[in-house]
Amino acid sequence: MWLGGRGWLGFLVQWRLVLRPFSFAKTWGGCRGPMAGTLSTGEESGGGLRTLVQQNGDAGSDAKDESLPGPPEPTGRGAEPAVGSGDAAPESGEPASAPAADPGKRKKRRGAAGERVVPPPKKRRTGVSFGDEHFAETSYYFEGGLRKVRPYYFDFRTYCKGRWVGHSLLHVFSTEFRAQPLAYYEAAVRAGRLHLNEKPVRDLSIVLKDNDFLRNTVHRHEPPVTAEPIRLLAENEDVVVVDKPSSIPVHPCGRFRHNTVIFILGKEHQLKELHPLHRLDRLTSGVLMFAKTAVVSERIHEQVRDRQLEKEYVCRVEGEFPATEMTCKEPILVVSYKVGVCRVDPRGKPCETVFQRLSYNGHSSVVRCQPLTGRTHQIRVHLQFLGHPILNDPIYNSVAWGPSRGRGGHIPKTDEELLRDLVAEHQAKQSLDVLDLCEGDLSTGLTDSTATSSESANDSLEELATAPQKMDGVHEAASQHLGTPGMAAETHGMNQETDPLCAECRLVRQDPLPQDLIMFLHAFRYKGPDFEYVSPMPAWAQEDWQED
C-alpha cells in the first residue's frame, strides 16, 4: 500500500526503533577484552597521522599489551583507551566499560529464580581520558635511570564473545587461554578473583550465555621505561605538544599502563582528557601532539586527510648513506601484527619516503626522513631495504633477517622462520618487551599476516592473565595458599606489591640499561598550515657523535 510522506516517516521511525536494540546488543556482545598488548598495529614512528579521536577513552587499536578477558574500561569521564601495544600496537588497549544500568532509560531486568541477570552495558563517551581513580592505582619510583611502577591489582573485563556462548568457562580457559594452566584459574576462583555478571564464580563448569560479563582481578607488573622527563614543547587552548622520550608508549598497550605518556601527563602535569593526534612507536622519541578538544582534533585530522601536514624525522643509520636525496617507494607488507614486524613485498601497501643525508662521521650517517605515507614501521623498513638500517634498531637490524639483514628485500627465510628467530633472539636477551610480547604470548602462534589490524588487535585483547608467567609448581603452591574466597580482598588491603597467585612476583628480571631503551629515530618536526613544532636534536644526531 502506498504511504504518503507522513506515513513513510512514521514507518521509518518505527523500523529504526525496532532495529536499534538489536544493533546495540550485537555491538557489545562482540566487544573485545582489555589490552593484551602484543600487537603493533599503529603508525610507524615515521608513519602518518591517523584518526585516533576515539582511542583515548573509547575502544581503539594499538598497540600490542595483557590478562582474563577484559572490557573496554570505565566509560564516561575517566574512561581509558582500549588499545593496544604498543606501539607498535598492537599499545593494548585497555578495559571496557563496566556494566551499569542507565537510570531513566532502561530498567534492570529481573530474571526468574535461578536465572542470571545480565546488566546492560554502560554508555561510552569518546575523546575522554583517565580519571583520578585510575592514576591512584599505584605510584612511580625511580632507580638506576629508570622510571618504575609499583605492582598493583587491576580488573580486566569483557563481554562474552559469540564463540564462547554455550561453552563452560573451563572449556574457554583450556582452549583459548593456555598461557596459564587450569590450576591457576582454579586458584583464582577460590581466591574470588573471577566474576561473572559481578557475582563471584564458584565453579568453572558454569556455561556462558550471550552478553555475559566477565571480570578478572590480576596482579600487574609493568616494564620499566627511561627516567627522562616528558618535556612540554608547547601548550595553548587547543593543543599540548611534548618531546616524547624513547621507550615510553603513547597510551596504554601491552603490559604498559602507568608507564605511558597519557598517564604520566595526567599524573604529573594534570593534563587530562587529551586526544592523541598521532602516535610514535615506543622506542621513537620526539614531537608528539595532543588536542584538548574533539573539535581541534577533527580539524587537524582533516588537515592530515588533505595532506597538509609535513613530518620530518632524523635517524642514525649504518654506513655511509648516499649524499644525494633518495626516494624509496617500495610497498610494505605486515608479517605479524602481534609481533609488530613488516617487510618490503610486492603484495604490500604502497608507500613513499624521502631521505637526505645530513652528516657522516666515518662509521654511521645521520639521515633526514620525510614519510609521505603512513605505513607501519615505514621509515625503518625502507632504510633496511636500502641497506642502511637504523644503527640500533632491535628489529630491523637484527641477525634474524639473515646475512644481508634484509637489504634489497633479500630474506632467506619464511615468515614463520623469521618470527621464530626474532622472538628467540629477544627471549635470550630478556627483551621481549621490545616486541611488546610476554612469555605467555609465545604459546599462541605469532604469524598473523593474513589478519586485519583490527582483528589482530581484538585477538590480542583476549589474553586472560598475562601478568603472571607460567612456572613449574608456582600455581599449585598458590592453590594451597588461596583456597578460600575473600582472600583476594585481604591481599588487596595487606600488600599491593606481592601476590601469592602471581608468578611474576617470583621472577627475578634484570633491569635494562637506560641506553638499551633508546633507538636512533626521532620525530624532529611536525608542520601544518597554521602551526609548526620542532624538538631539540638528540645527542646521537650531532655531527661529531661517536659510537661507544
Q: What is the 3-state secondary structure (H, E, C) of 478-528?
A: HHHHCCCCCHHHHHHHHCCCCCCCCHHHHCCCCCCCHHHHCCCEEEEEEEE
In the set 58, 87, 281, 459, the catalytic residue is: 281
pLDDT in the model for residue 288? 97
Question: Is 345 a residue of the active site?
Answer: no
The candidate with the shortest Cα–Cα distance to 276, out of 526, 535, 538, is: 526
Alpha-carbon gap, residue 411 to 421, rounded angstroms: 12
Alpha-carbon gap, residue 8 to 255, rounded angstroms: 53
The candidate with the shortest Cα–Cα distance to 223, out of 507, 527, 530, is: 507
pLDDT in the model for residue 8? 43
Q: Report strand pairing: 199-200 vs 194-196.
A: antiparallel
Strands (E), 310-457: 310-318, 326-328, 332-336, 341-344, 353-360, 364-371
Which residue ranges of the chain lie beneath pLDDT 50?
1-109, 123-128, 447-494
Sign of CA dihedral 372, 373, 374, 376: negative
Give the number of C-alpha atoms closer than 13 A to the C-alpha of residue 35, restricted to the C-beta side. 44
Structure-block grid coordinates of residue 341: 614486524
Cross-strand partners of 366? 316, 359
pLDDT in the model for residue 339? 81
